[in-house]
Structure 1
Amino acid sequence: MATITRDSLMTLEAYSKIRKTARAQAIEHRKLRSVQLGEHITVQFEDEQTIRRQIQEMLHIEKIFDEDGIQGEIEAYAPLVPDGTNWKATMLIEYPDAHERKRELARLIGVEDRMFVEVEGHSRVYAIADEDLDRENDEKTSSVHFLRFEFPQPAREAVRAGASVKLGCDHTNYPSHVVIAPETLASLAGDLK
């Protein structure tokens, strides 16, 4: 697994030159690694490429060029890169209407802990959510959560061998599951060793 370090990042000038032309490829890669779960949840599986782009974008937008600032961005985002035994993802709960969003986020408290991946022939692997900080309170859950799915070795081997995989949620107010598309699964299988 590639590691993101200060020396492996592009300078602000170099990134600025390729930013627009690389955008389409970055969008396609993110799309490949995104799974729609029901009508309102999108799970974007991260990898070294998506996180490297995120760090470069933050450095570009914030005009960060000093060593401490760059290191701070690396430390903030690098934990989202899978390490060979897991998948890491950003979960987005999306309701365009503000009133509906407020109501549904109140109904979906705890949804992040009910997200699972089920590898064919293996037990469900439930997400370990929001390890950096708690993203819900007594009134509502957040519309963004960070998930880690930690796989036992036999499940990792099954994924790499081509087993079918479902992404799902068994929260009372959002029961849903979907079979991960083959092209997406092929990309995700590369995250496991």
Structure 2
Amino acid sequence: MQTTGKITPESLMTLEAYSKWRKTHKPEIMAHRKLRTVHLGEHLTLQFESELSMRYQIQEMLRIEKIFEEEGIAQEIEAYAPLVPDGTNWKATMMLEYPDIHERRRELARLIGIEDRVFVEVEGYPRVYAIADEDLDRETPDKTSAVHFLRFELPPALRAAVKAGAAVRVGCDHTNYPAHAQIAPETLASLAGDLTVEA
């Protein structure tokens, strides 16, 4: 699966080619996704997306839905391509995970607004809070959604600091879910690859 910097219909594999590729390469994609996963406490997971993870997502959707027409392919690209980081940011899928349905219902009601309280903190710099759900609002007056899409927009100085090896924490300061975690060095190395620094 080649990354080209931009996901276009021409850069995707045919259903047949992807089906063959998937048999041998799926473990690599799973390892890549695991590397870019950060857990905040017991119930909040951030999956930092990349061009590779979004290409895989699109190819999987095309395979599952057996989509091979241009219009359908374009719709899948339109849905997932915005989650590819574009050099100045990190983008993540945020999941609130509660296996018990009653607990989930209760907690999603208690965690309204949590998606706006998630941040990254580069060593020596102020927190950068997520910009959440730019495509559509995923919250109702009664509860938040179990899935949100986040963008962390990093100014040039922060990007340079990350590239230079600064430590980064990710956290949440919602009243009902305070949590933070240091991003592991190997995960941070992968995330640093998403960032560009102006010359």
TM range (shorter): over 0.9
**Which residues of 2 match residues 1-193 of structure 1 at below 5 A?**
2-193=5-196
Q: Distance in 2 between matches of 1:23 and 1:9?
A: 16
Percent identical pairs in the alignment equals 73
Runs of 4+ in 1 over 2 A off after TM superposition: none
Q: What is the Cα-based RMSD across aligned positions, in Å?
A: 0.7
Q: Distance in 2 between matches of 1:69 and 1:96?
A: 33
Q: Distance in 1 between matches of 2:74 and 2:32?
A: 25
Q: Distance in 1 between matches of 2:159 and 2:9?
A: 31
> 2:73 is matched by which residue type in structure 1?
I
Instruction: Answer with 11-20 or 105-114: which moved more.
Output: 11-20
Cα drift, residue 125 of structure 1? 0.3
* Structure 2 unaligned regions, length at least 5: none
DSSP 3-state at the match of 1:24: helix
Q: Distance in 1 between matches of 2:106 and 2:36?
A: 29
Q: Distance in 2 between matches of 1:27 and 1:115?
A: 25
* Structure 1 unaligned regions, length at least 5: none
DSSP 3-state at the match of 1:42: strand
Q: Distance in 2 between matches of 1:109 and 1:6?
A: 37
Over residues 84-113 of structure 1, what are the superposed CA-to-partner deviations in whole Å (9 max), with x where a residue is unaligned?
A: 000000000000111100000000000000
Over residues 151-176 of structure 1, what are the superposed CA-to-partner deviations in whole Å (9 max), with x where a residue is unaligned?
A: 01000000000000000000000001
Equivalenced residues, count: 193
